[in-house]
Amino acid sequence: MAKAKINYNNTVPLVEQIVMTISRDIEKGVYKRNQQLLSINTYSRQYGVARDTIEKAYTRLRTAGYISSVKGKGYFVNVKSNKTINVLLIFNELSSHKKIVFDSIVSSLGAKVKVDLRIHHGDLALLDEIIDQSLSLYHYYVILPLFREGINESVCISTLRKVPDSQLILLDKTITGFKPAYSVCQDYTNDILNVLRKNSARLAKYEKLILLIPSTGHQQGIIEGLMRFATESSLGLEIRNMVEKNGPYKGEVYLTLDESELIILLKKIKENGLLAGNEIGLISYHDTPFKELLGITVLTTDLEAMGKMTAKMILENKPAQIINPFKIIIRQSL
């Protein structure tokens, strides 16, 4: 018997919550055909919900055809799951690398799953609004929680907890103090730390590592990983929002998180007559065809694998917390 998901602080009435939870679980295959549900008295004792509330919910489920009742025996699942599964993806943006994840999820899920996409643009208030508007409409909510700097993580957790744990899949980024049943995320701090450690000999020819972060926000885990690496190595570390006016300079190695900054940096390297991979180093986050063409070294998580593992969780309905694979692709720029 699946555990009920009752939120007593939710603005959604308890009757509606019970109906929504049981009907969604039947559609997802959590409940099997002819499986017996908890009796009204048992449900009431176990979850502290009034008998009248449960009876109303069961009546609505019976009217909708989800369950049937047998006098003297109880309530039983009446239908076999054959409905389309509805999934809502909520991304912070649809950049080139996020589109790879999106396409991988959609193609891996197949035709029996309907996927919608919403964008929260790094705005927690907008995410909250999207969730409120869609709470009873989908079987799964795949949320990518990347926000602008200054977001209170406790407020973020409160927003995410509006989604029942059995329906929430956290994508790409973990939230401190929040561990959902389903997640496919990067370990930003240890991913970059371990990759740089393995390539410390290659980095030794440079004097300083410079991280260029976008002004619209950045991933704190990356900074923490770089700081730990700088502490244990002889490589200096600077964090900037842009390339210095007269820079870059010989002996520096740059890590860019944003493609617009990467383009500016490439222009300045050319203007200053520097040779990437020799006099100056260049590393970028996430691979693209143009980075491969230009010979730019990249740090990248396996975006297609992230999509495939997310789809597998949905199709198999099996909770797991997965750390997505991460690697460096060495090219001429380092």
pLDDT at 8: 63
CA distance 140 to 85: 8
Give pLDDT tens digits for 221-241: 899 999 999 999 888 999 988
Mean pLDDT score, 179-190:
94
In CATH, 189-285 is 3.90.1150.10: no
Tell me which residue of 113, 199, 119, 127 sits closest to 161, measured CA to CA: 127
Using a cut of 0.85, tell me whether the model's pTM lies above it.
no
Superfamily, domain 85-185+303-325: Response regulator (3.40.50.2300)
Percent of the chain at pLDDT > 70 equals: 93
pLDDT at 152: 77
Q: Residue 176: which pLDDT band, with cuts at 50, 70 and 90?
A: confident
For domain 14-77, give the fold.
Arc Repressor Mutant, subunit A (1.10.10)
CA distance 207 to 253: 8
CA distance 243 to 239: 10
pLDDT at 72: 85
Cross-strand partners of 77: 67
CA distance 318 to 312: 8
Assigned token pair, 319: 């909770």
Cross-strand partners of 331: none
Instruction: Count other C-beta atoms under 10 Å from residue 232's C-beta.
Output: 11
Query: Can 14-77 and 189-285 be said to share one CATH topology?
Result: no
More confident residue, 26 or 140: 140
Q: Residue 202: which pLDDT band, with cuts at 50, 70 and 90?
A: very high
Domain ranges for the chain, please list them.
Answer: 14-77, 85-185+303-325, 189-285
Tell me which residue of 163, 210, 158 sits closest to 182, measured CA to CA: 163
**Beta strand 67-70 with 74-77: parallel, antiparallel or unpaired?**
antiparallel
- pLDDT of residue 119 exceeding 90, the answer is yes
pLDDT at 3: 59
Give pLDDT tens digits for 58-107: 998 988 888 898 888 899 998 765 667 889 999 998 888 899 999 999 99
Q: Residue 30: which pLDDT band, with cuts at 50, 70 and 90?
A: confident
Tell me which residue of 27, 7, 15 sits closest to 54, measured CA to CA: 15
